[in-house]
């Protein structure tokens, strides 16, 4: 043994480490006997099983309070959001009339989006409803009226923006169509006294002369009440969101135009906050380039 204050040799240090890993005299491994290691492992095993059990029990109790068809709590704005199709890049619809590829992407996006609105699909999956009345499908106590039916929305309602007669939705001649939809909100009643919410569009900041003629489809630019209330994706598997199309017939070429479309309703609050630019409205840029 080295005396106090003397420096240990490398062999002594190695012997001490070997004895720490395994002491043949006391049968200790890493400073503990087999029974000591067994008690520690047993403690942690029981401890983590208890934690896992508490987690599973908490999740089970929470799941008992949830409804598979409707959220228990809905923390939503008083005004639902809106969106357009085609979305373009960051809601920027820019193309050149002479460049087919620049507007063909928008045409293809509209074709894909409107495919479920074909009359054959709607007749097969959805019901022909009474216009201007809510399509209420109440449950009978705890007996659910599921699956719930949905009302037909045929793309023919979109007129010149349906893509049936004009295969290019006006993009090839500088008279493009833009589709507008209201975001789905479970249990929302967007109008009263048989007054459906309707859409209005206009230039947001620039001179209004940049857009001289708009046409809406349906003609009243309304989301008919028969498509409400919405009962959720699981309850209404074939639900078709109502659409409003706006066609820009006479627009100024080679100019970037900021357009805003908003919802007008006697039950939905008018959008006032600039913090949420999609609450009850949607803003997008439209630029159509053409050689002079």
Sequence ranges of the domains in the chain: 10-64, 82-289
- Interstrand relation of 211-217 and 243-251 (parallel, antiparallel or unpaired): antiparallel
> Between β-strands 257-264 and 82-85, what pairing exists: parallel, antiparallel or unpaired?
unpaired
Task: Encode burial over 136-163: b for 16+ CB neighbours within 10 A, e otherwise.
Answer: ebeeeeeeeeeebbbbbbbbebbbbbbb
DSSP letter at 24 equals T
Contact 229/137 with Cβ under 8 angstroms? no
Look at residue 1 in the predicted model and tell me its pLDDT.
46
Say which CATH superfamily domain 82-289 falls into: Na, k-atpase alpha subunit. (2.60.40.1660)
Q: What is the pLDDT along the chain (292 residues), one digit of tens a residue?
A: 445 556 777 766 676 677 666 677 776 777 677 788 888 889 999 999 999 999 999 999 988 877 777 776 666 566 788 999 998 888 999 999 999 999 999 999 999 999 999 999 999 999 999 999 999 998 877 777 788 899 999 999 999 999 999 999 999 999 999 999 999 988 889 988 889 999 999 998 767 788 888 999 999 999 999 999 999 888 888 899 999 999 999 899 999 999 999 999 888 777 655 666 678 899 999 999 998 6
Instruction: Give the three-state DSSP class for 181.
Output: strand
What are the residues whose beta carbons fall under 8 Å from the beta carbon of 217, sequence distance 6 or more? 157, 158, 159, 160, 161, 162, 244, 245, 246, 247
**Contact predicate 159/167, CB 8 Å:** no
pLDDT the model gives residue 31: 67
Report whether 223 contacts 184 (CB < 8 A): no
Yes or no: say if 165 and 172 are a contact pair by the CB < 8 Å rule.
no
Among the listed residues 161, 154, 158, 157, the one whose alpha carbon sits nearest the alpha carbon of residue 107 = 161
Cβ count within 10 A of residue 118: 15
Q: What was the pLDDT predicted at 193? A: 86
β-pair type (92-96, 28-29):
unpaired
Rounded to the nearest 5°, which phi and psi values hold at 198?
-130, 165
Residue 45 has what pLDDT? 93
List the alpha helices (DSSP H) in the chain.
10-21, 34-64, 100-114, 119-125
């Amino acid at each position: 043994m080295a005396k106090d204050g003397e420096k240990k040799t490398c062999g002594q240090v190695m012997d001490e480490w070997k004895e720490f890993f395994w002491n043949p005299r006391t049968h200790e491994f890493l400073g503990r006997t087999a029974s000591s290691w067994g008690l520690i492992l047993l403690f942690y095993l029981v401890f983590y099983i208890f934690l896992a059990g508490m987690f599973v029990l908490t999740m089970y109790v929470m799941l008992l309070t949830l409804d598979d068809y409707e959220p228990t709590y809905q923390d939503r704005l008083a005004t639902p959001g809106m969106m357009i199709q085609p979305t373009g890049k960051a809601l920027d619809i820019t193309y050149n009339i002479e460049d087919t590829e620049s507007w063909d992407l928008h045409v293809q996006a509209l074709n894909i989006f409107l495919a479920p609105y074909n009359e054959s699909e709607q007749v097969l999956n959805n019901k022909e409803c009474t216009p201007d009345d809510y399509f209420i499908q109440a449950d009978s106590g705890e007996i659910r009226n599921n699956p719930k039916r949905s009302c037909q929305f045929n793309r023919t309602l979109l007129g010149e923006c349906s893509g049936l007669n004009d295969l290019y939705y006006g993009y090839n001649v500088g008279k493009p169509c833009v589709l507008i939809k209201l975001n789905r909100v479970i249990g929302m009643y967007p109008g009263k006294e048989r007054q459906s919410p309707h859409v209005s569009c206009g230039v947001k900041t620039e001179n209004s002369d940049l857009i001289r003629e708009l046409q809406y489809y349906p003609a009243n630019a309304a989301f008919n009440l028969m498509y409400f209330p919405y009962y959720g994706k699981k309850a209404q598997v074939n639900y078709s969101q109502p659409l409003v199309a706006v066609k820009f017939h006479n627009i100024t070429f080679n100019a970037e135009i900021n357009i805003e479309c908003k919802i007008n309703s006697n039950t939905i609050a008018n959008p006032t906050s600039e913090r949420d630019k999609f609450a009850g409205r949607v803003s997008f840029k439209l630029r159509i380039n053409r050689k002079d």
